[in-house]
Amino acid sequence: MFVRALIGHARAHLCAPVLDPRYHHGAPKMLLTAEHMRSLPEYFTDVPDPRRGQGRRHPLPAALAMAAGAVLCGARGYKAIAAWAADLSQQARARFRCRYRNGRYEVPSRTRFRDLLISIPPEHLDRALQGWNVQMAGADEGLALDGKTMRNALDEAGQQTHILGAVGHQSQACYTQKSRRLARRRRR
């Protein structure tokens, strides 16, 4: 019997501090339950719709809820969000309150997701997701705060970006993340 490695230098790949994304496999970041699917659209009902009247094929809360659900399940980018939504069963699409036409529930295309997510102000999405997160996470007795200053992330004025996040101790849920620009310190 001869044994041959399927991937050259496999040991080096597996021992690396960060695994190459080509080799990421396994379960998604989160699995959505039926309750999650039903509750997500409710939190996007207050988001103002930037689309014109003729461009409103899909309900805004349903499209944003599906995009949020896809990201929670590990999708990165518009193509992955659209693929995740297209893979939803008819029953799951009904839970998200998708558009019903010709006896089937329809989901937006990749370009519809892209156009919609680009046109919605991030503050509206953040507020909606924070509300959903608080509802799903439950009460935490304490929060952990973590802050970082990003190296080499300078804007035109030479200011660095500082990120601060708040995470619940019991639920391990991220309640909020904020960023701000700091004046770059000069070395003496």
* CA distance to 43, 113, 126, per residue, from 133 (Å): 10, 22, 10
Confidence band for 183, pLDDT divided at 50, 70 and 90: low
Q: Are residues 71 and 148 in the same domain?
A: no
Query: Considering only 76-85, 118-127, 130-139, 167-176, which range has the smallest mean pLDDT?
Result: 167-176
Rounded to whole angstroms, how far apart are CA atoms 65 and 88? 13
Instruction: Clarify whether residues 48 and 23 are in a common domain.
Output: yes
Q: Give the lowest-confidence range in 34-38, 72-76, 118-122, 157-161.
A: 157-161
Q: Which one has a higher pLDDT value, 114 or 177?
A: 114
178 has a pLDDT exceeding 70: no
Q: For residue 19, what are the domain limits? A: 10-137
Residue 29 banded pLDDT, cuts 50, 70, 90: low
In angstroms, the CA 128 to CA 99 distance is 21
Q: What is the pLDDT of residue 163?
A: 76
Residues 125, 44 share a domain: yes
Q: Check residue 4 and give its pLDDT.
A: 65
- State the total domains in the chain: 2
Domain match, 42 and 117 both: yes
Higher pLDDT, residue 52 or 4: 52
Q: Is the pLDDT of residue 104 over 90?
A: yes
Distance, C-alpha 68 to centroid of its chain:
5
Please check whether residues 115 and 149 belong to one and the same domain: no
**132 and 164 belong to one structural domain:** no
Using alpha carbons only, give the angle 80, 166, 178 rounded to the nearest 5 degrees: 70
Instruction: For residues 11-26, give the mean pLDDT.
Output: 67
The Cα–Cα gap between 44 and 63 comes to 9
Task: State both tokens at 113.
Answer: 């997701």
- Residue 5 located in a structural domain: no
pLDDT score, position 50: 84
Shared-domain flag, residues 133 and 153: no
Residues 127, 151 share a domain: no
Would you say residue 61 lies in a domain?
Answer: yes
100 and 60 within one domain: yes
The pLDDT value recorded for residue 28 is 46
- % of the chain beyond a pLDDT of 90: 15
Residues in a beta bridge with 99: 106
Q: What is the pLDDT of residue 107?
A: 92
